Amino acid sequence: MQLFFILKGRWIWFLFLFFVLISAEKLFSQRTWSFVLHGGITANMPLPLTIKQRAYPDIYIKQAKYYSEPLKSPYYWDWRFAKWIGRHAIEFEAIHHKLYLKTKHPDIQRFGISHGFNMLTINYARKLRYFIFRNGVGSVLLHPESTIRNKVYPEGPGFDIKGYRLRGLVFHTALSKQIPILRKRLFINTELKASFAKANAPIVDGIAKVNAIVFQGIFGLGVNFAGDSKRKAK
């Protein structure tokens, strides 16, 4: 929990670390970049949800169930930039996920995070013989919507800057398979991913402590660019 509070709101350090790493001399000696954009399907594990609201007793749901509707607007998406050094890579990844509370409670008229439960991470990836294995750590950019005890959280439209809150900590692990096409410049990426996240979503006069474990099956198209000229010369 102490680590959670230390990292909350400090996402800029992850971006700073990313740009420091890519500016290192060794990285620029092998200029191999990639970008990939995915769609996919998701499943959420039932986990505890705690809602703390001033002047009211806490609401505790031991196994809060969520649905996500990844194939309905606003859609699930995942995009990733990577800087490859041989078989290793440093990456920045953004995942747009959605959570809608399915479990009923008399004091909760609506609870959702649909624009969304965005997971931003810095990853380390390694190419194995047939697959790519990656781990990432970062923060959660939330756009919550709720009506609790008939108190409506004052949300804005889906892409309003004020509606977003950077709260929480996320870790994910993934295994992917790339299929090269068009002389390896383009590739198809298939991937299985599990994300583990904690976040405090603001509500009227309080917070909702959200826990999430999200399983994702994703499929996308990627591109390799700015190839390693030194290695080609050899």
- Output the domain CATH number for residue 192: 2.40.160.20
pTM of the model: 0.82
Q: Confirm whether 233 is domain-assigned.
A: no
Where in the sequence is the domain holding 150, given as residue range(s)?
A: 2-226
Q: Confirm whether 231 is domain-assigned.
A: no
Q: Confirm whether 112 is domain-assigned.
A: yes
For residues 50 and 44, what is the distance between their CA atoms, to the nearest angstrom? Answer: 17
Structure tokens at 135: 């781990």
3-state secondary structure of 161: helix
Q: Confirm whether 82 is domain-assigned.
A: yes
pLDDT tens digits along 44-85:
999 999 999 999 999 999 999 999 999 999 999 999 999 999
Q: Confirm whether 234 is domain-assigned.
A: no
Q: Confirm whether 161 is domain-assigned.
A: yes
Q: Confirm whether 21 is domain-assigned.
A: yes
Name the phi and psi angles at 27, rounded to 5: -70, -40
Q: For 194, how many CA atoms within 13 A lie in the half-sphere containing its CB?
A: 4
pLDDT tens digits along 142-200:
999 999 999 999 766 555 556 788 889 999 999 999 999 987 789 999 999 999 999 99
Overall domain count for the chain: 1
Q: Confirm whether 53 is domain-assigned.
A: yes
